[in-house]
Structure 1
Amino acid sequence: MLLRLCLGMLAFTQVLAQSPSQRITGLVLDKASKQPLIGATVIIKLESDAGRMIGSTTDSNGIFSIEEVPVGRHFLNCTYVGYQPWVSAYLEVTSAKKLDLTIEMIESATVGDSIVVRAPRVASEASNEFGLVSARSFTPEETQRYAGSINDPGRMALSLPGAQISTQDNENTIVVRANSPIGLSWRLEGFEIPNPNHFAEAGSSGGGISALSIYVLGASDFFTGAFPAEYGNALAGVMDLKFRKGNREDREFRLQTGLIGLEFASEGPLSRTKKSSSYLF
């Protein structure tokens, strides 16, 4: 009886000693053709574990999965022959929900015997290739980390250089370099949209609460100047929002309630056998 008690206590101690971990999955694509890249290498270097590296390679559909990633903040690196190395911003890994990423890699060119020196791509660079200056890309994870953003891309943008809040601090109206907030252009998947905020005033580009859930958005761009030609109607700034892809492997549900409202979200594969497509709402 005493031996069984000791063995039980030892097993319980080992369970408690295990550090929480999570899984990271994702899709690696060619940025120009949107075709999946087969055999791309995805690696995470664990600074907290003496630099130990864990990783995976993409399958025939360009999908990768990294198991038992310790909870915390990590950098993720992706390399592929003939493409520029891709390095992520800080990824916040929690035990509550796995991370699902979409990585778009840029093909590198080698011409004759010349040597082309290129700086590594920074995750904060705008995804629009014509946004060379006064442009910044941001992720939903960044929006959640910024103080006072309340899961709102508009309020997060107020913390970026060149943007400031209007006279009403209870709204997310963006003033870009002292221009009128009416000149801010909102775009969703390349299409110009009206003010995407609740409780908005007529002729304004902001409001009290964003009508778009942060959990359905992906990496988006914010421009404060030098707009590409496609944003012809923009006078002060551009907020170019993008949707993210849903989970292709497991169905997930999210329920959130607070002082500003109730929110429900769901995502998962459309088919349990073919996991090449997904839904998200």
Structure 2
Amino acid sequence: MSKVGYKTVVLYNIVVNSGNENNYAIELEQVTTSLTEVVIKTNKRTARAATLETPLSVQRLTSEEIKSNPGGNFDISKVIQTLPGVGGGQQGGSFRNDIIIRGGAPNENVFYLDGIEVPVINHFQTQGSSGGPQGILNVSFIEDVKLSSSAFDARYDNALSSVFQFKQKMATPINSRVISG
């Protein structure tokens, strides 16, 4: 047995029977423990404003934030649905990952992966929606996501509700990994 501030005690030959309650009185000897300095660092951020010009309409998420989001299940669409001003198509038992920004339709969003427009980010979507039940973007390859829900650049002229900009991680030959599943 061990506890902080007490000397560890190891007990041998203890008889344990099923269905019987065993009570043991064990005294632990107090000891003084000297602890070393602890430095706590973090780079975890919540969804934050990306620019000073439009602090409420532009948000950024890192891949670590997407991976650690409870209930997000490594799915970018599910994590985005938890942001302020964003709704989802989960009513009525639907399994779609629709992204509804400020009351717009799911197909009014545009998605860019490293500057290239991607029509949808989910498999098996239905007509007029943006999301099927399965995401097509691997979160491990995404560095960050920038969501602009209003006041987006003129170069995104076909966006009505929002613009999503996905930036992929740069591969380095020194820090290479293979993930298989």
TM value normalised by structure 1: 0.46
Q: Is the 8 A contact 2:106 2:128 kept in 1?
A: no
User: 2-side partners of 1:200 and 1:181: how far apart?
Assistant: 11
Q: Structure 1 runs of 4+ off > 4 angstroms?
A: 128-132
How far apart, in 2, do the equivalents of 1:50 and 1:145 lie? 28
Where does 1:32-181 land on structure 2 (aligned, <5 Å)? Answer: 50=37, 52=39, 74-75=41-42, 88-89=43-44, 124-126=48-50, 132-166=55-89, 167=91, 169-181=94-106
Output the amino acid matched with 1:250: N
Give the number of aligned pairs.
145
Structure 2 residue 162 is the aligned partner of structure 1 residue 218:
no
Q: Determine if the alignment matches structure 1 residue 187 to structure 2 residue 112.
A: yes
State the identity %.
Answer: 26
Select 1:229's aligned residue among 141, 144, 154.
154
**Distance change (3 Å), C-alpha of 1:244 and 1:179:** same
Q: Are the structure 2 counterparts of residues 235 and 164 from structure 1 closer, same or farther at C-alpha, using a change threshold of 3 Å?
A: same
State the secondary structure of the residue aligned to 1:195.
coil
User: What residue in structure 1 maps to residue 133 of structure 2?
Assistant: 208
Query: How much does 1:196 deviate?
Result: 2.3
Q: Which has the higher strand share?
A: 1
* C-alpha distance in structure 1 between counterparts of 2:98 and 2:118, whole Å: 16
Q: Structure 2: how far apart are the matches of 1:123 and 1:174?
A: 16
Structure 1: 5+ residue runs without aligned partners?
Answer: 1-47, 53-72, 76-87, 91-121, 257-281
Greater RCO, 1 or 2 (C-alpha within 8 Å, sep 6+): 2
For 2:66 and 2:47, the matched residues in 1 are separated by 14
Structure 2 unmatched ranges of 5 or more: 1-34
Change over 3 Å in CA distance of 1:210–1:49 after alignment to 2: farther
Partner secondary structure for residue 138 of structure 1: strand
Report the CA distance shift for 1:123/1:162 in structure 2 as closer, same or farther (over 3 A). closer
Coordinate RMSD, CA, aligned:
2.6
Amino acid at match of 2:44: A
